[in-house]
Amino acid sequence: DVPSNKAYRHPRWVRVNTLQTSMSEQLVTTFAGYEKTSSVQEVQRASASVKKYFEDPHIPNLLALPPKVDLSKSAAYANGAIIFQDKASCFPAYLLDVGPDDGDVIDGCAAPGNKTTHLAATVAEGNVHVKRQKVFAYERDRIRSVTLQKMVKRASAGSIVTIKAGADFLAANPDSEEFADVGAILLDPSCSGSGIVGRDDSIKMHLPYQAVGASVVTCKKDKKRKRDHNMTLYNGSTTLHMSLDEAIAEETPIEGQLSDRLTALSTFQLRILTHAMRFPKARKITYSTCSTHFEENEGVVFQALASEIASARGWTVLPRQLQVQGMKDWKRRGILEPEKLDPRVDLAHVQKEAICNACIRCEK
């Protein structure tokens, strides 16, 4: 829960890359001299020079450090032993809970590769005991594929991850021999980004249309002069340059355009999720976005669960009691607001219980 207080600051989250090192090793090397704290608030309030850490109780191998701490020049960051990855971004791979019996894994929307390398680390734990499991990482954008390649290499995940550079996951044939053993799929598709903390904070404070999550590409952050600055808003097809005053005056049209963008995004997200449901051996999918919009989250999951392929293969939301240990007590479970759904969706297929926006499983 984020306090409304503007002074609230997010900690710097660091994932220890178990492909290379361990938490205990990092605590006596990179974080030697750091004091362990018992609450995340304590590190959140600390200045960058204070050496304190908090070990996350939900995600294994995740540390919270003071917000402005700079580890970008540390050897551990340079060689991939630690990875800067927000807690929210660590849930999808952790929730997928890949075990030795799950076979191969697909990351359908992979770059820059935070979740791919996290997946590889979880898969590697199982690989000690059974036949080697692979992670196929799809990335449609060629330039972002280069970043993905670098990240996979730096994290030492190359022996587990097969990169499908410049390849569209929607074009991957679920019935091909290559994917015959794919049992789990992680989907983190392109989205509006409305939930990314820090990206549009300055706008959130001032603009009435913050609620519709306009995606800000550039906006100078000088607080005193903010109202004089020009900004650029992007709605998926059109780029608008305007002053903040003009942007406020333009509220209604921007809102309209944003809803068009949400429709386009959620249509794509639904396609990608229902495509993943077609892989014959797949039993688990995590679906995640960086968006706060119902349309991109539960709205997509509801519609996917109401699709023909979902009912044919028996996809449902994973019940709380079957989720990974750390998540059983997680209080926030998303929302069920059927009135927000497209009226054509047949609710008979949709599970009438609070939905966890990420975990779905297949029973057939």
Residues with active-site annotation: 290
Smallest distance from ligand SAM to CB 97, Å: 17
Residue 109 near ligand SAM by CB under 6 A: yes
Q: Is 56 in the site for ligand SAM (CB under 6 A)?
A: no
Q: Which of 99, 100, 112, 126 contacts ligand SAM by CB under 6 A? A: 112
Candidates 18, 21, 30, 89; binder of ligand SAM (CB under 6 A) is 89
Nearest to ligand SAM of 90, 327 (CB atom): 90
Q: Does 194 bind ligand SAM (CB under 6 A)?
A: no
Only one of the segments 112-120, 153-161, 245-253, 294-302 lies at the binding site for ligand SAM (rule: CB under 6 A); that segment is 112-120
Is residue 141 involved in binding ligand SAM (CB under 6 A)?
A: yes
Q: Report if residue 115 touches ligand SAM, rule: CB under 6 A.
A: yes
Q: Which is nearer to ligand SAM, 113 or 213 (CB)?
A: 113
Binding residues for S-adenosyl-L-methionine are 109-115, 139, 188
Q: Spell out the residues 6+ positions from residue 124 whose beta carbon is closer than 8 angstroms to its own.
A: 18, 19, 160
Q: In the set 114, 149, 192, 291, which binds ligand SAM (CB under 6 A)?
A: 114
Contact call for residue 155 and ligand SAM (CB under 6 A):
no
236 contributes a contact to ligand SAM by CB under 6 A? no
Which of residues 11, 66, 113, 213 is near ligand SAM by CB under 6 A?
113
* SS3 of the chain: CCCCCCCCCCCEEEEECCCCCCHHHHHHCCCCCCEECCCHHHHHHCCCCCCEEEECCCCCCEEEECCCCCCCCCHHHHCCCEEECCHHHHHHHHHHCCCHHHEEEEECCCCCCHHHHHHHHHHHHHHCCCCCCCEEEEECCHHHHHHHHHHHHHCCCCCCEEEEECCCHHHCCCCCHHHCCEEEEEECCCCCCCCCCCCCHHHHHHCHHHHHCCEEEEECCCCCCHHHCEEEEECCCCEEEEEHHHHHHCHHHHHHHHHHHHHHHHHHHHHHHHHHCCCCCCCEEEECCCCCCHHHCHHHHHHHHCCHHHHHHCEEECCHHHCCHHHCCCCCCCCCCHHHCCCCCCHHHCCCCCCCCCEEEECC
Give dist(CA 24, CA 21) in Å, integer.
Answer: 9
Stretch of 26-34, 40-48, 185-193, 254-262 lying at the interface with ligand SAM (CB under 6 A): 185-193
147 binds ligand SAM (CB under 6 A): no
41 binds ligand SAM per the rule CB under 6 A: no
Residue 205 binds ligand SAM, judged by CB under 6 A: no
Residue (20 or 286) nearer to ligand SAM, CB: 286
Contact region for ligand SAM (CB under 6 A) — 21-29, 108-116, 248-256, 257-265? 108-116
Nearer to ligand SAM, 84 or 330 (CB): 84
**Is 111 a residue that touches ligand SAM (CB under 6 A)?**
yes
Shortest separation between residue 4's beta carbon and ligand SAM, angstroms: 27
**Total number of residues that touch ligand SAM (CB under 6 A):** 19
Residues 115-138 as b or e (16 or more Cβ within 10 Å = b) = bbbbbbbbbbebeeeeeebbbbbb
CB atoms within 10 A of CB 364: 8
Q: Is 292 in the site for ligand SAM (CB under 6 A)?
A: no
Residues that bind ligand SAM (CB under 6 A): 89, 109-115, 138-141, 144, 168-170, 188-190
